[in-house]
Amino acid sequence: MLLPIRTSIRPQRVPYTNYALIAVNVIIFLLTYAGGEETLRPFARGWMLMPAHPFLWQFITYAFLHGSFMHIFGNMFFLYIFGNNVNDRLGHIGYLCFYLAGGIFSAIGHILAASLYGSGAATAVLGASGAVAAVTGAYMVLFPQTLVTVVYWFIFIGTMDLPAIYLIIFKMIFIDNIIARSAQNVAYDAHLAGYAFGGGAMMLMLAVRLIRPDHFDLWSMLRRWNLRRQNADAVNSKMRKKIKTKEVVTPEQKKKEEKIAALRTEIAMRISQSNLSAACDAYLELKTIAPEALLPKQAQLDIANQLMTTGKWESAAEAYEKFSTHYKNYEYPEQIHLMLGVIYARYIKDSQKATKYLSEALEKLSDESQKKMCSDEIERLKN
């Protein structure tokens, strides 16, 4: 038995919408719960979802009803664990709309499954578990590499940390809702529809940039995997071309190319593991062998940012300049120029380059505080 109790990240803003949804669910439960065999008070029975002949309002109202204290506690507990950070990422209005949409799509999934399998069509459905599953699916996409602390009890009782993506896919989706479909009064298909909607909606929003990727979400992980695949294909293609043209390669050249390929693979692997420190070490080693080496777009930027963070100013400036020169279609070039201006002004002490980059950044920056910093730094350099 595994029960998640907390995650390794905390929201940067207070998740008021998630707290409000939990409060509303609890209040409605206290007002509508009848106890005993009837479960709900008479006035609330028409709010349950009737799969055979549903009314439109039931697609929302059913998700705010619960049939027992354990039912409401379980749903609200999981909503608290996974919903706070999703609320923080989507914003209050976006999260509210997403939560309600998750309940609606879960209901649709349950109805479609009932019509296909011919089971459960006459059973009324209630509970927020479909909407909570959508929130959990969204968490899996937005924060796949975060750690979830779970309590386990088999022979022994203890806690352990598991990556969110593995816990949610294998335990909460596959085991709990596909393999262990034993309870007759659980809407497993509504849960699966919720997970599918939550994960799919987040991937779509990340792909079209309705939500800005942050390098650690599932979309960015897949993009980095694709870049590594393309890099490997390019290396293999180059090797095949050399074989076809019978190019003579000395043992030293071959050893050098193998080392470069190995370092590129290591950099990509370390970035995918979020081990940017080790990725930077491999990058600096790569530079000593092949100074002209260029990484894929996101990898080059990640390395430059990490070098900047760790105070390797010359290497960071070189990485940023290489990125700016080769990836001219980057959507935020002013941020790169700002970083270069700061590095050259404050750490490398090259006023000419600092003024050049700060002036270029100042022309395109929209943030007033950044513009003021640029102006102040340029004035300081003049003096």
pLDDT recorded at residue 118? 65
Predicted pLDDT at 315? 92
CATH code of the domain in which 86 resides:
1.20.1540.10
pLDDT at position 74: 96
Query: What's the pLDDT score for residue 126?
Result: 96
Which of 207, 230, 249 is the C-terminal boundary of a domain? 207
Question: Is residue 160 situated within a structural domain?
Answer: yes
Residues 146 and 9 placed together within one structural domain of the fold: yes
Residue 270, token pair as written in the block: 């370390």
Single out the residue in 181, 207, 233 at which a domain terminates: 207
Same domain, 229 and 187: no
Shared-domain flag, residues 218 and 139: no
Alpha carbons 196 and 169: distance in angstroms, whole number: 11
CB 307 within 8 A of CB 319: yes
Distance from C-alpha of 6 to C-alpha of 111, rounded to nearest angstrom: 33
How many domains in the chain?
A: 3
The answer to whether residue 316 is domain-embedded is no
Q: Are residues 70 and 181 in the same domain?
A: yes
Q: Do both 250 and 102 map to the same domain? A: no
Q: 131 lies in a domain?
A: yes
Do residues 86 and 218 both lie within one domain? no
49 and 62 in contact (C-beta within 8 Å)? yes
Q: Give the structural domain span for 366.
A: 331-383
Q: Do 169 and 305 have their domain in common?
A: no
Question: Which of 184, 207, 230 marks a domain boundary?
Answer: 207
Please tell me the distance from the alpha carbon of residue 166 to that of residue 162, in angstroms, as a whole number: 7
Residue at token pair 């420190």: 277
Taking Cα atoms as reference points, which of 144, 165, 26, 11 lies closest to residue 81? 11
- pLDDT for the residue 207: 92
Show pLDDT as tens, one digit a residue, over the chain (383 residues): 889 999 999 999 999 999 999 999 999 999 999 887 778 999 999 999 999 889 999 999 999 999 999 999 999 999 999 999 999 999 999 999 999 999 999 999 999 998 887 655 557 899 999 999 999 999 999 999 999 999 998 888 999 999 999 999 999 999 999 998 887 789 999 999 999 999 999 999 999 989 988 878 999 889 888 888 887 777 777 666 655 555 566 788 888 888 988 898 889 888 888 888 999 999 999 999 988 888 988 899 999 999 998 999 999 999 999 999 888 888 888 999 998 988 999 999 999 998 999 999 888 888 888 888 888 888 888 87
Same domain, 305 and 345: no
